[in-house]
Amino acid sequence: MPESAQTSVIGKPQPRIDGPLKVSGTAQYASDFHFPGMLYAVPVEATIANGKIQKLDTAAAEKMPGVRAVLHRANIGKISRSVMGKGFDGICIERRPPFEDDVVRYYGQYVALAVADTFEAAKGAADAVRVTYNKNKPNVEADLKADDDPDVVPTSYGPEKRLQSERGDPDAAFASAPVKLDQTYVTPAEHHNPIELQGATAMWDGDKLTIYEESQGIFNMRGVLAQMFGLPKENVRVITKFVGSGFGSKLWPWTHCALAVAAARQVGKPVKLVLSRKMMFQSVGHRARTQQRVRLGATAEGKLVSLQHDYVYHRSMLDNYHENCGEATAFQYSVPNLRVKFGRAQRNIGTPSDMRGPGAVPGLYATESAMNELADQLKIDPVKLRILNEPKIDESLGIPFSSRHLVECFELGLEKFDWSKRTPEVGSMKRDGLILGWGMAGCAWIAARFPAEASVHLRDDGTTRVACGTQDIGTGTYTILAQLAAEKTGVPLNRVEVALGDTSLPEGPVSGGSMVTGSIIPAVFAAADNAIASLLTVATSTPGSPFEKNKPADLAFEGGRVFVKANGSAGGVPFADLLRRANLRFVTGSGKSEASFGDPNPKFSTHSFGCHFAEVTWQPAIARLRVNRVVSVIDAGRIINPLAGRNQIEGAVVMGIGMALLEHTSYDQQSGAPINSNLADYIVAVNADVPKLEVHFVDFPDKEINELGARGIGEIGLAGIAAAITDAVHHATGVRVRELPVKIEHLLTSSVLA
Ligand code: MOS
């Protein structure tokens, strides 16, 4: 890598290269594609959550103008199940293909599909389908008690996920601990709410299938569809050029994809199916509700002696998605005696799935809240308590951390937030007639590499093209790819073409786990090195080339120019000149990153770390609570693009404010429906709820992840923030809220008066 500091584009704030396309409305999202003869499909949603279809009457719907087909179990044709292949191939969280049986297991499950010339005609026909059910009372009970064998290991998508963990004798250590804490924390079901609705446009050409879908993992989707429709993988092409955010809801294919494909097969035309906002709350995943009991035992000085984390989460009737609340529990603190254990409770709900920071986000809300309560009990500063229990190694695996700088994060956070001014007594801090509450929490999030492949072209017009079949879900992957290619080829950013989001490209990683950046760096760099090696061969083998007399090993490439090493970089020749002289449009190279995710015997424990400090204001007279200030400090290795990195953390903190104070999905006990299934009733944090956010990165490259030391960034920002806010709420009001979100009614018991 050229270390010429003045030309490097790594670590510099770079505006999105795709920004102009987005703000000018020319970026094409999946449902923006139109095709001649395209038809529209609208699903019929079950209006019960538990029962059987008794009768499905499509006669009236079929007669409506413009209606081409009404599909249901008897006429949809074969859709097979997908199975998980090796790596990210065939993962489908809701495994039952649509219409496989006549059982309804959750509200909104698709029971039929209307296909028509226009969206309006399809919607009219869907509404005209008459369905009668044998109906049972749904179980959507909020209180969770484990109802299956907790020793059953869920089918998770990677061995990297720590499921249960135990060391020492946590029961005995807890029993004899001088200081004890035993509390239960509850997080509600939450729904991802990307503004871009999910949907698919599918079309067949003989036995070849093309689908436009806003996927966070196009290659996995290709594998799933190939299995469902009995096709060789190479006959399936998935295209996702832009994604209007996903937050995990678009990681894995949902049943509507199969419906669009089956409908297109039936009618022999392209079919577009876009979900309604209401459907987004029913059938494309959500964050599972959790109940987490945390028991901490400590010495009077605050040294942890025992940590137990027992959690239960809800799951759907058929599926096995694991909400891994213990993700960070086993390694975050030094503690000799520990147990992490889970149970599950089946409910008549749509299948839960990954939602931004899955597992760790609800998990750290519980464990970090418990640490704050313990600090309170011990009358120790919560930051000091954490530093006192900082581990030297990952005690759960007995291996070193590749790079852990949480203490440095705390130190910077203390300074930036001015934490030393905090007076610990509840209600003791005031400003402008408002009570102030200050709280904090730490966080962690997994880091690893997924397998990745990339190609780099050097072209005779002086441009370069980098291709990787990953996705940009709004996080800045287009720009990161351009930065990596520019760095290696010396081509300015505005002359780099980036191709992603298409399964015809080299296989890229899923946009999940905040792992794309860390995964693609070795692949792009190797691809560029191979393209440069080809160029040097061209340079020495082209008659009339200035390097005709040299061997490739004599040459060097830097800043887009080839030169003889012995002569230094002066007099280098631009690569475009060499290609034109050889009458070559381009040379190309391919590269690969090996996976580290799922390594059963890792040498290092790799994670990102960080902390949040939050200030709330409390106005007791009118029970008004606001988040007033947040300082976040993140250790995510080297930051490739500080502008996009900061944006990721800010976005996550906004979601964290929503998690702490606003977001929750309620299920109707009678119908089983998620009742606040729209953006008016499902409340997310908006600009008026968001104060000044301050984001800092500590800069410690993690060379175990890749040569640049970048671990990737995103989800870490949502971990811990809700615990910091609820701690601040306690500091201001004296009320410990242990069930999210914090509601005004929780705070009416506050003893703090103005
Ligand atoms: Mo993230 S939940 O891995 O999209």
Q: What is the pLDDT of residues 643-672, one digit of tens each?
A: 999 999 999 999 999 999 999 999 999 999
**Is there a catalytic annotation at residue 715?**
yes
Would you place residue 28 in the very low, low, confident or very high pLDDT band (cuts 50, 70, 90)?
very high
C-alpha 482 – ligand 1 centre gap (Å): 23
Choice from 156, 157, 249, 354 to test ligand 1 binding pocket (greatest atom count within 8 A of CB): 354
354 lines ligand 1 (CB under 6 A): yes
Show the tokens assigned to 251: 């990681």
Atom of ligand 1 nearest to the CA of 354: 2
356 lines ligand 1 (CB under 6 A): yes
Q: What per-residue string of b and e applies to 57-88 under the rule 16 or more CB within 10 Å gives b?
A: ebeebeebeebbbbbbeeebeebeebebeebb
C-alpha 514 – ligand 1 centre gap (Å): 7
Side chain identity at residue 223, one-letter code: G
Task: Tell me which residue has its CA closest to atom 4 in ligand 1.
Answer: 248
Interatomic CA distance for residues 484 and 489, integer angstroms = 9
Give residue-wise pLDDT tens across range 330-340: 999 999 999 99
Choice from 156, 356, 450, 659 to test ligand 1 binding pocket (greatest atom count within 8 A of CB): 356
513 lines ligand 1 (CB under 6 A): yes
506 lines ligand 1 (CB under 6 A): no
359 lines ligand 1 (CB under 6 A): no
Output the pLDDT for position 147: 85
Atom of ligand 1 nearest to the CA of 355: 2
Tell whether the model's pLDDT for residue 730 goes beyond 60: yes
Question: Do residues 646 and 469 lie in contact, with contact meaning Cβ atoms separated by under 8 Å?
Answer: no
**What is the DSSP track for 602-670?**
-SSB-EEEEEEEEEEEEEGGGTEEEEEEEEEEEE-BS-S-HHHHHHHHHHHHHHHHHHHHT----B-TT
Give residue-wise pLDDT tens across range 412-426: 999 999 999 999 999
Please state the rounded mean pLDDT for residues 746-751: 89
Atom of ligand 1 nearest to the CA of 216: 4
Q: Active site residue: 94, 715, 739, 745, which one?
A: 715
C-alpha 746 – ligand 1 centre gap (Å): 31
Tell whether the model's pLDDT for residue 345 goes beyond 80: yes
358 lines ligand 1 (CB under 6 A): yes
Q: How many residues does the chain have?
A: 754
Would you place residue 3 in the very low, low, confident or very high pLDDT band (cuts 50, 70, 90)?
very low
355 lines ligand 1 (CB under 6 A): yes
Give residue-wise pLDDT tens across range 544-557: 999 999 999 999 99
Show the tokens assigned to 491: 């081509």
124 lines ligand 1 (CB under 6 A): no
